[in-house]
Structure 1
Amino acid sequence: MSIKTILLGSVAALAAVSGAHAADAIVAAEPEPVEYVRVCDAYGTGYFYIPGTETCLQISGYIRTEVRFGDNISGDSDVNFWTRGQVTFQTKNDTEYGTLTGVITLRTNADNATDQETLLDEGYLDIAGFRAGKQYSWWDDDLSGETDTLSSNETTHNSIRYQYETGNFAAGISVDELEEAYVEKPGEGPNNFGVAAQVSFKSGAFSGYLLGGYDSDNEEGAIRAIVYADIGPGTLGLAGIWASGANYYYEESEWTVAAEYKVKLTDKWAVTPAFQYFDKINIDADGDFSGGSAYTTGVTIDYRIADNLRSKLSVQYHDEEDGDDETFGFLRFQRDF
């Protein structure tokens, strides 16, 4: 066999082997498409789609720091520094029953480096007017200034509520678990549950609502009304409360009236002077109001330093008929996002 024959045979063999394995050649995989974050404008500003879903997410919150002052406000000191950081995650998507909303709000309060607490401020789901979970009571809504005291004890509860809303009218009812620590009534511990109901309206320059709460453990209740009216350069706010006896929703006094007038001086400045009077502030061993009166007067000054940066100065004076007078307040700076 000649060398030429051997070479030709080798070339043919290699060609055959190469042809046999041509189908097994390594082919680079196509890159997976990247899904970028999409803006969701169906529910307002700040929402975006969670990648791979049709659920819209909004992240918001604020950083707040205060210098508080008042008699022995921090042990033997009349001045106390205090800081809070809060973040809220809110999700929304459409369902056959309407918009499904979920809210988680995490809050950390820091009095100093060692005295801090982190808590679930809110955590609830909302659909078709129904809301269930840890949420703020309607009793948390009050006048815009810092002078008034229009609720008692904690105002967030594990609750189930329903609210019907139109553009200018709303009505709702809630069942609240009142298991938080009780403050004023002698010998009273955590309660069982309460029921609150409210109606609200808007009509031109006027708005307001009527709210009631019944404490099933104490078998006492309270009624509160707040009305706002745009008058002149500002907004007048009037409030009144009557309580049948000391109860979780209101136990500051048997009845009280409050008034404020918020004036927006410029796009940056607003001033709110206010006054509140309390009648029958003392509570006997049976939880009944037994006498005494008090009043609080003060002013709140708001200043918008820049976009998303605000400041607030609150100075209040409180005087009780049979007690000492007190001056207190705070200077606050808050960055929203």
Structure 2
Amino acid sequence: MKFKKALALGLAAALTISLAACGGSKGGDKEKSGSDSSEKKSDYSVAMITDTGGINDQSFNQSAWEGLQELSEETGAEVNYIESKQVSDFVTNLERLGDKGATLLWGVGYACADAIEEAAQSNPDLQYAIVDNAYENTPDNVTGVMFRAQEPSFMVGYVAGKTTETNQVGFVGGIASGLIDQFQYGYEAGVQYAAKELGKDIKVSVQYAESFSDAAKGKAIASKMYSEGCDVVYHAAGGSGTGVIEAAKEADKWVIGVDRDQAYLAPDNVLTSALKLVGKAVKEVSLDAMNSGEIGGQTLTYGLKEECVGIPEEHGNMPEGVYEETLAVADKIKSGELTAPSTEDEYNEFVAK
């Protein structure tokens, strides 16, 4: 039990562990920079472009920027960002940040993949990195950062299955993709794993907002789910997900957050959150690039084994015992005894067992 508590605490506090231990969206009008006000100095500059969810999406863009801010505070490195408004802005934003002297440039989200690849080919002297994308042939000056998002999604699905009283739960996605499949099918599998333990049938309703920035659409979808009987809804929808959380507050139902601990957005309604420590990864990869000079040509993958995903330690809204049971499930995933599915085919195989 000591290890389980340490895992959750470490995730909640975003433990700093070495890069060796760890391993989507559209372009821009806002720019921000920052550096440590202490005596630490650095000539190193790191910059990022967001996807259309914006820097304050309460999700992975915000987490990435927080990671760069921590890097600046600890090393004195200069950090900057530009918010993206549409896909066509990505390349322009990367060029702007490169012209301003950035040494390492980040694209946050898989939708930045083409822009990052184009910029990297045009600027072989610069380093690039991207969150949530793995290239078939990774350029020598590009680092991909991926997460096994199906693992924390399985955990929160298990929580949902153990919590629902109506035996109906929901999932709201942003834009359908192989990446979001990890969240959906990991979640659905976790729900069904709990249902099997409980000896009952639980229905999972799934719908996509077709956007990572349309909070109104997210709210409308979730409101309908709640009105039709769902009492727990998990979102993997970026900025659209803030609408899902608003719907939960209005319906006084449970919602599950994503990427960051989103309990602060609705303390009485957020059941838990599927943590994906984007900021930690961005910080650690940037620090490694800063220290070693070149880190490209590879994809780094983070999951439960690396203590880079999970659920928050705070669990006061969960039914008694569910938190501990969920950590036991996480141990099975970590050991390899249980494999969380990330695709529809894997999910079908999982539930057929």
Instruction: Give the shorter-chain TM-score range.
Output: under 0.3
Point out the structure with the larger helix share.
Answer: 2
Answer with 1 or 2: which has the greater Rg.
1
Point out the structure with the larger strand share.
Answer: 1
